[in-house]
Structure 1
Amino acid sequence: MNRTLVIGDIHGGLRALEQVFERADVSTDDKLIFLGDYVDGWSESPQVLDYLMALSQTHECIFLRGNHDDLLMEWLRGKENKLWHQHGGEATILAYSILPETIKEHHIAFLDSLRNYYLDGQKRLFVHAGFTNLHGVDYEYYPRLLFWERTLWETALALDPKIGPDHILYPKRFTVYNEIYIGHTPVTRIDETTPQNRANVWNIDTGAAFKGKLSVLDIETKQFWQSDCLPDLYPNEIGRNK
């Protein structure tokens, strides 16, 4: 099939990932670009990482770094973050409490290998959160912003759809790339449930960390597939729905 598929934030929902891959009929011919936030929220964060590492042996995969992945790596290396506990970390800590140190070391190596962004040959950018520098990701003063910031999406939402790239008010950073694919900020915040496009920005985070679904999108055709809502797949858990 030779598709390029982009996958939204998983947040420990392995059942959703397996389900949406089945619905999208993912094969070894597909290139898979994961936008980050593999962990925190639902109970299977370690299992998600194991699944992704195994998947990379049979598929062409690009793994980006999300803010939750970075927080997990810091915790696995001994750095405490109390705020993280309240935003999905508790379920992850519980899941890791029963695992041997050898598994944790494998996961640290995987998390350390994640990319801050990916740019393909057609000037399509894939990044977890966004960027602030007017000249693009290579010029970002604070690289952690690539998996933490929200102003790119907020600007896209606020932009007058009647103006184009040649307009004096059009955001310069939107002109650096042909398309930009992000996660990080759930589209459920604007009462949407499917991948959303504003200007040349595509947001694939459809709220899997909360009450939403996990989405996979074909970047050429813009066809997408979704899992069931995560609370339906994990009926005995609350995820981050506090």
Structure 2
Amino acid sequence: MPERTIAIGDIHGYDVPLEALLARLSPTADDTVVILGDVVDRGPNTRRCIELLLQLREQCRLVFIMGNHEEMMLSAGNDPRVAESWLGFGGRDVVESYDGDLDNVPAEHWDFLRSGREHFETDSDIFVHAAVLSDLPLDQQPTDALRWMKTTGREPEHSSGKRVICGHTAQRSGIPRTWPGWVCIDTCVYCDSGRLTALDCTQNLLYQADHDGNPYGPADL
């Protein structure tokens, strides 16, 4: 099998669909798997999601992009005032996955969260958590755009000519949103009928799994 670049959308603590997707994709040492951020918060098992990604790091090249929810969790770990507001944005689910206390988060998990990158790019694609400003090169993008800006489906193509692969803006239909130069693969895994989505960017194939780990795809993008 030729080497692949695979992007996985917002995981939000849903370990069962993540494990199902990884089993379906079977990444090898030749593959690059790009995690688009928001691994944490809202779902039932953030702890196990991070453990699965740490294991995945031993199998393939893993690129982890920091999302706004990782940013909030890291801030909460340093400032009790931030922690109080973070709990209402899904942080309470994270704490429960660590047996009710952030002090139980292993150092390796904090290190993983801190390792998150702002962006990643290949010869054909740009990977970010949220969005990019079309007229700025990647190294000049503001953090607010990369981690927090919602997309509308009307954003222009990036000046580099590369396709932007992003998450962050939840597609409650469960279907990735595509428009010229962009693909958003946050398919609202935390919704009642949500799914976790992976995109094999090399072959433009979509893979999904639901809350119970039932697989769907591959399907053409």
* Shorter-chain TM band: 0.7 to 0.9
Question: Where does 1:14-53 land on structure 2 (aligned, <5 Å)?
Answer: 14-53=15-54
Q: List runs of 5+ in structure 1 lacking aligned partners.
A: 160-170, 234-242
Report the 3-state secondary structure (helix = DSSP H, G, I; strand = E; otherwise coil) of the residue aligned with 1:108: helix
Residue 111 of structure 2 corresponds to which residue in structure 1?
Answer: 109
Distance 2:198 2:132 in 1: 22
Residue 193 of structure 1 corresponds to which residue in structure 2?
Answer: 174
Deviations 1:26-68 (A, max 9, x none): 3343211110100111121011112212211221111000111
Normalised TM-score (structure 1)? 0.79
Superposition CA RMSD, Å: 2.1
- Counterpart of 1:200 in structure 2: which amino acid? G
Q: List runs of 5+ in structure 2 lacking aligned partners.
A: 214-221
Distance 2:80 2:163 in 1: 36
Report the 3-state secondary structure (helix = DSSP H, G, I; strand = E; otherwise coil) of the residue aligned with 2:198: strand
Distance 2:30 2:16 in 1: 22
Which structure features the higher share of helix residues?
1
Q: Is the 8 A contact 2:195 2:209 kept in 1?
A: yes
Residue 239 of structure 1 corresponds to which residue in structure 2?
Answer: none
Q: Is the 8 A contact 1:28 1:59 kept in 2?
A: yes
Higher Cα Rg, which structure? 1
Out of 224, 236, 240, the position equivalent to 2:206 is 224
- How many Å apart are 1:74 and its aligned residue? 1.4
Q: Is the 8 A contact 2:165 2:182 kept in 1?
A: yes
Residue 164 of structure 1 corresponds to which residue in structure 2?
Answer: none
- How many Å apart are 1:103 and its aligned residue? 4.1
Q: Is the 8 A contact 2:12 2:40 kept in 1?
A: yes
- How many Å apart are 1:19 and its aligned residue? 0.8
Report the 3-state secondary structure (helix = DSSP H, G, I; strand = E; otherwise coil) of the residue aligned with 1:12: coil
Residue 145 of structure 1 corresponds to which residue in structure 2?
Answer: 145
